[in-house]
Structure formats: structure tokens, C-alpha cells
Amino acid sequence: MRPVIPYVTAALLFGLGVYGVLRRRNAVLVLMAVELMLNAVNLILITADTTARALLPQGGQVFALFVIVLAAAEIGVGLAIVLQLYRMRASVAVDEVPLADGPATEPIPAGVTGSGRVAGSGRVAGSGRVAGGAGDAGPGAQRPEGER
């Protein structure tokens, strides 16, 4: 077997995963890119196992199985973090995650959605105005830089 083809394929997969981690804003897509990198590592381990079988019999397959278990645990923990982030912020954008030691904002009260609207009413939490009025910018509206 020519090991060049799987190694080049694994390098392309790993590069695509690195690009996905560096360029994506959505946390779920970042997790998918990490999975792509782990699959590239699995491909390298299995290829190395088939080409250098005399050094360590079944070694690459054992390591690949370990990487698969590690990937499953990473997805479980990662999705739990993403779901908690979505519950707290109503967004899974990675660049909006506060990285400070303490909570940057107060937690959202029960019954209030991520946009500040009280569930079931047309009112914005903490204000006397009704959502959807002339001064209310909707979720997709353009806001000036100072209001973000």
C-alpha cells in the first residue's frame, strides 16, 4: 500500500478542521471542525498501523479507538456547554462569549427570552415600552456600534 495518499488526505482534513476552528463563529460548527481534526488523526494512526505493523502490532488501531472514545466524550461535554451557553445568551456565537472571571451581566430572569422580551407578552423586561414600537429595533435590525 502507498501510504502517501492517506497521509495527504489526513493532512487536508486536518487543515480543513483548523480552518473551521479559526474562522467559524458558531460553537456547533467549531465542534464539528474539531471532530474533523480528530478523524484526520485517526486516519494517520490507522495508516501508520498498516505500514509499520512490525514495530507495534495493533498499536495504531488501539490509539484510534482511544481517539474515538475521546471524541465521544468531547462531543458530550462540548454540546452541554453549547446548550448552557444558548440558554444563558440565546446565541451560540463564539465571539460573544464573555471570557472574564465573573459574570459580565446579570442572569436572565425566568420567563424572559434572550432578547429581553417577557414570554407571552409584548413588553420588554425592565421597561415600560411595548416591543415592536417605532423605537424598538428587532433582532435582525442594524444597530449603531455603541448599542451592541
Domain ranges for the chain: 4-96, 105-132
Number of H helices, E strands in the chain: 3, 0
Q: What is the pLDDT of residue 14?
A: 94
106 Cα distance to chain centroid: 24
Higher pLDDT, 108 or 2: 2
For residue 147, pLDDT over 50 is answered with yes
b/e map 115-141, b = 16+ CB within 10 Å:
eebeeeeeebbeeeeebeeeeeeeeee
pLDDT at residue 64, rounded to an integer? 82
- Between residues 50 and 137, which one has the greater pLDDT? 50
Please check whether the domain covering 4-96 is classified as CATH 3.40.50.720. no
pLDDT at 8: 93
Report d(CA 130, CA 20) in Å as an integer.
40
**Structure pTM?**
0.59
Residue 33: Cβ within 10 Å count:
19
Q: pLDDT tens digit string along 79-134?
A: 888 888 888 877 777 777 777 655 555 555 566 555 555 555 555 455 454 444 44
DSSP 131: T
Burial class (CB in 10 A: 0-12, 13-18, 19+), 51: middle
Which has more confidence, 49 or 112?
A: 49
Q: What is the pLDDT of residue 114?
A: 54
Q: Which of 14-18, 51-55, 94-98 has the highest mean pLDDT?
A: 14-18
Can you give the pLDDT at residue 15? 95
